Amino acid sequence: MPVDRSVIGKSTGRSKVVIERGPVAVFADAVKDASPIYRDPAAAAAAGLPAIPVPPTYPFVMGHWGTFPEMQPAADEEAASGIGEVLGPLLAGGGLLLHGEQEFEYHRAVVVGDVLVGEGRIADAYEKQSGTNTLTFVVLETTWRDDATGEPVVTSRTNLLVRT
């Protein structure tokens, strides 16, 4: 089944996160980064940062750590169907979902205390042949903005692969 490219540009939803010191330190431990800037405000200040920063790959988990239900934007029914329109039929046909690639574009440092609003969209969808298998690539992009100013802080791109 060919990929439905009409979903490109569709929303994958919005969420609001609060960047907290505890999860940042736990994440730094998980990725084996012992730098004190991820734990100690004085070390972060000595490095010229306004607060404790997040490790470079932290935006991958931001949507799971620091989202409080009472802070979330109203659910967008259309957004929920965007990713489902692409992945649903592929997975229903027995496809195997893989995380293929992750990319982060920082517009400024993400630091403890930030409140960020993420808006996701389907950035691309395409297919490639690999032997007898068809690989479907779905690129998701989330732009995280400072809740107070609306300025972009970090853009995350995730490339999902479905092998059929």
DSSP notation for 8-58: TT-EEEEEEEE--HHHHHHHHHHTT---GGGT-HHHHHHTT-SSPBPPTTT
Residue 36 lies in a domain: no
Element of type H or E holding 82: helix 77-92
Residue 13 lies in a domain: yes
Residue 65 lies in a domain: yes
Residue 25 lies in a domain: no
Q: Greater confidence, 69 or 98?
A: 98
Tell me which residue of 88, 158, 87, 90 sits closest to 121, measured CA to CA. Answer: 158
d(CA 129, CA 111): 41
Residue 71 lies in a domain: yes
pTM above 0.85, yes or no: yes
What is the pLDDT, as a whole number, of residue 34? 96
Residue 96 lies in a domain: yes
Residue 83 lies in a domain: yes
Q: Which domain holds residue 110?
A: 5-20+53-163
The count of structural domains within the chain is: 1
Query: Tell me, what DSSP letter sits at residue 62?
Result: H
What CATH number is associated with residue 82?
Answer: 3.10.129.10
> Torsion angle of alpha carbons 60, 61, 63, 64, nearest 10°?
160
What is the pLDDT, as a whole number, of residue 134? 83
For residue range 33-84, what is the model confidence (pLDDT) as tens digits? 999 999 999 999 999 999 999 999 999 998 887 777 778 777 766 665 667 7
Average pLDDT over the chain, rounded to an integer: 89
d(CA 41, CA 121): 34
